Amino acid sequence: MITRGKLAKATGIKIETIRFYEKIGLLAPPERTAGNYRAYGQDDVDRLSFVRRARDLGFSLDQVRTLLDLADDRSRSCCAVDEIARAQLKAVEEKIADLLALKRELGSLIEQCDQGTIADCRIIGALAPAEV
């Protein structure tokens, strides 16, 4: 018998998060013991590990839900899976591009800082429209 705490340890997902996943229907409600404790099985460990890996790869819970559904239907073509992964890759690439632009802007702002007063601070100046 695997309790919630053990499931948490086995998968690296916090107890509260497991409850949250159960609440939103990502995990099926497990059997209960006589004392009303959740009793998980190896299936649950597997499923939750799947969720964790997908989350680590940046998939949204909604995408994870879809991936789980797809994974259950083993005879189906994996085009849909590929599509989700590609969408995720694209999102990641866009995010990286955005952050690189940000990094450049921040970097040049910081470089100009000469440690004077706020009045002639380049960073504040760059943020302010004309005169603060």
Partner DNA sequence: TCTTGACCCTGTACTTGCTACAGGGTGCAT
Partner DNA sequence: ATGCACCCTGTAGCAAGTACAGGGTCAAGA
Question: Do 54 and 26 touch, CB atoms closer than 8 A?
Answer: no
Q: Report the partner that residue 70 touches, choosing among DNA, a copy of itself, none (CB closer than 5 to 8 A by kind).
A: a copy of itself
**What's the closest the beta carbon of residue 34 comes to a copy of itself, in angstroms?**
30
Of the candidate residues 2, 3, 8, 49, the single one contacting a copy of itself (CB under 8 A): 49
Tell me the window of 1-9, 12-20, 28-36, 70-78 that interacts with a copy of itself (CB under 8 A). 70-78
Of the candidate residues 1, 15, 28, 92, the single one contacting a copy of itself (CB under 8 A): 92
Q: Report the partner that residue 66 touches, choosing among a copy of itself, DNA, none (CB closer than 5 to 8 A by kind).
A: none
Query: Applying CB under 7 A, which residues contact DNA?
Result: 3-6, 14-17, 19-20, 33-38, 55, 60-62
CA distances from 23 to 20, 26, 27, 29, 83 (A): 5, 8, 8, 8, 27
Q: How many residues does the chain have?
A: 132
Is residue 8 involved in binding a copy of itself (CB under 8 A)?
no
CA 49 to chain centre: 14
C-alpha to C-alpha distance for 108 and 67, rounded to whole angstroms: 42
Q: Report the partner that residue 17 touches, choosing among DNA, a copy of itself, none (CB closer than 5 to 8 A by kind).
A: DNA
Angle among Cα 35, 38, 42 to the nearest 5 degrees reads 135
The conformation of residue 122, written as its DSSP 8-state character, comes to H
